[in-house]
Amino acid sequence: MEKPIKDLRDLEKYNPTFSKAQQNRAEEVFDTLYRTPQNANVDLLKPKEFAIATGEEEQFKGRPNKFGNYNQEFDKIMVRDQDYVNKMVGPERAPFFTQERNLAHENVHRIQEQRRKDFEVPRVRSEYNYFKEMDTTGKQTGLKADIREFKETLKKENIPLFRENSTDFFLQKPEEFPALYTQLFPERVINPKSSLDRKINRMWFQ
């Protein structure tokens, strides 16, 4: 699906009738459209190079529910083969654990690690919570709000809840939030519908 063409007339300074809220949203939407390639599709979310696990790899031993891995030391992504994943997740979850989606998930972790090496904090302030182990206050207010919106989207899209969707899981591992979001909603990352979609989109396209 191609994105609609936008121009600077969507910004408040070129459209004085906009309220402040409309201005903020217009700037965010325009920023996303400016960053994202015009003909982007979900294939852009997959790494160009990866390996398929044979079952003997150390990172998967004793972890039957681990379907992918990003090795920071060697900058390598590896995922389980699809037959193995299908046996473990069952038919209800299977559509969300395809090889392509698992690869996109691990590719988020690669992007996160590259961001850490390139600069102390992300260039977009709203991404900051996802690159900290824990908020210094212990509250992670921004992340909690995003998790609430995430769960509302799950209900609207009729996507089943599972352990990795829980608030506690994300508060303990905030880096998993954008990875799982990308895995479940790759189309929304490419063509954002909400502020949360656009926040995840900005992690992919600088």
Q: How far apart are CA 11 and CA 74, in angstroms?
A: 43
pLDDT digits (tens, 9 = 90+) for 44-81: 999 999 999 977 788 888 888 899 999 999 999 999 99
The backbone region for 33, taken as left when phi is positive above 0, alpha when psi lies in -120 to 50, beta otherwise, is alpha
| pLDDT at residue 166 in the model | 80
Give the pair of three-digit tokens for residue 179. 């990875």
Q: Please measure the distance between the N-terminal and C-terminal CA atoms of the chain and give it in whole angstroms.
A: 21
Asked whether 166 and 144 are in contact (CB, 8 A), the reply is no
Q: Tell me which amino acid residue 167 is.
A: T
* pLDDT for residue 138: 55
* Separation between Cα atoms, residue 89 and residue 84, nearest integer Å: 9
**Quick one: pLDDT at residue 18?**
67
Residue 27, pLDDT score: 72
Consecutive sets of 10 residues in the chain, 206 residues long: mean pLDDT of each? 49 62 72 82 94 85 91 94 91 91 96 69 48 51 84 87 77 88 94 88 82
* 113 burial level (CB within 10 Å; 0-12, 13-18, 19+): middle
pLDDT at residue 81, rounded to an integer: 92
The pTM is what?
0.80
In whole angstroms, give the CA distance from residue 145 to residue 147: 5
Locate the domains of the chain by residue range: 1-35, 36-204
Q: What is the pLDDT of residue 90?
A: 85
